Each structure stands twice: as structure tokens, then as C-alpha cells.
Amino acid sequence: MAPARPYWKGYLKLSLVTCPVSMMPATSESEKVRFHTLNRKTNNRVVSRYVDAETSKEVREEDEAKGYERGENDFLVIEDEELESVALESARTIDIEMFVPRNTIEWVWLEKPHYLTPSDEVGHEAFSVIRDAMEAEKVVGISRLVIGRRERAVMLEPCGKGIVVWTLRYGDEVRKPEHYFDEIGDGDNDPKLMSLVTTLIEERSKPWNPNMVRDPVQEKLKEIIESKRKSAKKGAKPIGKGDEPAYTGNVIDLMSALKESLEKKQSGRKKS
């Protein structure tokens, strides 16, 4: 996968230390299979257009405007110039306001990662000093950044030679786990069961590999597309669903099920 082009350029600032930086998305969906909507009769693409809700006439792009609804069918038109006037300093500067211990921010607050790099050689020293100092202190920086005309709280985390900028969820977006987990048992488990499960965990433990989170649906779609490309036949038999595993019902005897799992694992080793 080719490196992404920077989609944001600005400055990283800590007190009087400033350096020019570029930011790129750390994740991509460009490899995913995407479909266009077609007219089945002509095989031409279907395009969407804006139409007036009352007259049903098509609206030209230059006549489109943003409106704020203040009442039923009553809108205030907001011009692009007015939107630009509310631009904040955080639209072009990541000013680190505070630092917090990295281990105090739980995963649920992290939303989307971005890679931050110095955009020219002049800023390398300032960038590396900020990065290495955060790494040494085991802290992350908290700042704000305008993304898509919306100011977001962000977390800056050292990552190798660079920095990862995580957008953070707002406080009202995160639900408390106690609301869901309080009714679950406290974990006064049978030591024998714990021993069996621990053995299963040890036997199935492997080093992390990105292939563990591959997308089988996308792989199957690519197979279908490739098959259709190669096939010149009309009315070829479509590729159907794979066999789905049968549901066998609830496992009543947990001890027996765990023992059976271990026995299968051991017999499989003997055969190999």
C-alpha cells in the first residue's frame, strides 16, 4: 500500500517551541471493494442530483447553500464566508495544552489515528525533542484540532520516530461500563475450570500478526469479481453462500466441554 499524501499541514507548538508538521490518516479503506449503482437495462452508472423539495426541479451547484433550521420549513441561510469567519487557531496549529499519563486514558476514548511527521528538515529537532520528552516521561499530549470544520480534542502519542494523533471522543459519547457489567458475577470460579481454561489459552497463544484481522468478506468479493472477469459465459451460475456452521445449542457441562477441547488438541498433535 502506497503512503498516503498529507491531508493536513500546519504547526506543532509547545510553549515557544514550534515546528511545521504534516498529518496523514493512519488507516485506509481504499483497498475495500466498492460498487457503483447501475441502470440494469443500460449498464450505465446512475448519478444523484439535488432537487428542490417543493418544485422537484434540479438545483444548480452555484445555487446550493447551507441552512440552519430555526422552525418548521423556516431556515437561516449561512454563507461560506460566514463559516470561514469562525475559523479557530486550532485549524492550523496543534498547540499542546497539557500532558497526562498515557496509562490513564482508556481505549474507549480513542477514535481515529493519524500519523504526524515534521514537514521539513528545519523542524526535525524541535519535533524529536517533543516526541522523546513525552516518551521519557510516559505521557501523552492533549490538544485541539479543527478537522472537517469541527474542533476536536486530540491526543498526541509518541510512536517510533513519529507521533500518532488520536482524535478523542467527547464526554457525552462514552457510556460507563458499570451500566452493563454490574450484573455479571464477581468471578469466584472453580480452580479446576480456571486451570483448564488457562491451559487452553496457553496452547492457543500466538504472536500478533495483521493477518489475524483479515477481512474474509472482502476476499470473497474479490474472488467473485475475478471469476466474473474471467468468465465470458452469460448466465453463469452465481457463487453461493458457504456452508454455515450448525448451532448445537447451549453447552450444559462446562467441565466436560473444556476437557473435550483439550483432548481434541492433544489428539491432533499426535496425528501430526
Question: Is the distance from CB of 51 to CB of 58 less than 8 angstroms?
Answer: yes
Question: Is the distance from CB of 23 to CB of 165 less than 8 angstroms?
Answer: yes
33-47, 70-84, 142-156, 256-270: which range is least confident on average?
256-270
30-39, 64-73, 91-100, 232-241: which range is least confident on average?
232-241
Per-residue pLDDT band at 251 (split at 50, 70, 90): very low
Which three cell numbers mark 25? 490518516
Question: Residue 210: what pLDDT?
Answer: 77
The model's pTM is 0.65
Q: In terms of Cα–Cα distance, which of 152, 129, 96, 115 is closest to 21?
A: 115
What are the pLDDT digits (tens) for 87-135?
Answer: 566 678 999 989 999 999 999 999 999 999 999 888 899 999 999 999 9
Residue 253 CA to its chain's centroid (Å)? 39
148-157, 210-219, 223-232, 251-260: which range is least confident on average?
251-260
Which three cell numbers mark 101? 499519563
Question: How many other β-carbons are positioned within 10 Å of the β-carbon of residue 152?
Answer: 19
Per-residue pLDDT band at 271 (split at 50, 70, 90): low
What are the pLDDT digits (tens) for 170-197?
Answer: 888 888 888 888 888 777 788 888 888 8
